[in-house]
Amino acid sequence: MKITVDQDKCVASGQCVVAAERAFDQREEDGVVVLLDAEPPAELADDVRQAASVCPALAIHVAE
């Protein structure tokens, strides 16, 4: 699994952090997504997929 994020599309809702806090964080100054792990371990796969599906801006892309 490989994750990419489009910070320009991010609307800082924080849903990604709620769904997968070990893979995503938010910048202090504006809340934009920060990718912590572009190739997370298998045990985070479901959480990462959930984060991508709940992102209101569709800013998270997951390649299997």
CATH number reported for the structural domain that contains residue 20 in this entry: 3.30.70.20
For the four alpha carbons of 62, 52, 8 and 31, in that order, the dihedral sign comes to negative
- Number of structural domains in the chain: 1
Give every CB contact of residue 43 below 8 A, 6+ residues apart in sequence.
none
Range of the domain at 57: 2-63
pLDDT above 90 covers a percentage of the chain that reads 100
Q: Could you give the CA distance from residue 48 to residue 3 in angstroms, rounded to a whole number?
A: 8
**What's the pLDDT tens digit per position in 18-46?**
999 999 999 999 999 999 999 999 999 99
> Whole-model pTM?
0.94
* pLDDT value of position 53: 98
Tell me the mean pLDDT in the region 58-62.
98
